[in-house]
Amino acid sequence: MEVLLALVIGVMAGAAVWLVLRPRTFQVIMGLTLLSYAVNLFIFSVGSIFIDKPPIVTPGLAPNLESYTDPMAQSLVLTAIVIGFATTALFLVVLLALRGLSGTDHVDGREES
C-alpha cells in the first residue's frame, strides 16, 4: 500500500511540474492544482494510514502506532483543500480578466511563432 501511494504521489507531482512548465495559463493553473493534490496526499500519508482505526487515543491503552490514526494530518489536509479551492477560484477569475485585457492566454503574454 505504501509503495502504491508513493508511486501515485510521484506521478501526480511529475505531471503537475510538467503542466506548470506549459505556456498556457490554464495548464499552469491545473498543474498547481494537481501539485496541491499531490502534497495533500503526501501529508495524509504521513499521518499513519490505517483502516478501521479511530483518530483518537483510547483511554487505558498505551499510544502506539497501531492503535490510532493521527488526526493532525487529516485536519491539515482538510484545511489545505478549502484554501486550495479558494485559491483556484481566484486564479480562474484573474485568468479570465487577463485574457479579456490581453487577448491571449499565454503566460508571457506573447503568441507562439
The pLDDT value recorded for residue 107 is 75
Is residue 61 one of the residues assigned to a domain? no
Q: Give the Cβ contact number of residue 18 at 10 Å.
A: 12
Total-model pTM = 0.75
Q: Is the Cβ–Cβ distance between 41 and 6 less than 8 Å? A: no
Grid cell listed for 9: 504521489
Tell me which residue range forms the domain holding 41. 2-48+69-102
Total domains, the chain:
1
The pLDDT value recorded for residue 98 is 83
Is residue 37 one of the residues assigned to a domain? yes
Is residue 14 one of the residues assigned to a domain? yes
The pLDDT value recorded for residue 102 is 82
Residue type, 75: S
Counting beta carbons within 10 angstroms of the beta carbon of residue 38, is it exposed (0 to 12), middle (13 to 18) or buried (19 or more)?
buried
Dist CA 20 CA 24 (whole Å):
9
The pLDDT value recorded for residue 80 is 92
Is residue 109 one of the residues assigned to a domain? no
Which residue positions in the chain have pLDDT lower than 70? 48-69, 109-113
The pLDDT value recorded for residue 55 is 61
Find, among 43, 45, 50, 54, the residue nearest to 76 by Cα: 43
The pLDDT value recorded for residue 31 is 94
Is residue 113 one of the residues assigned to a domain? no
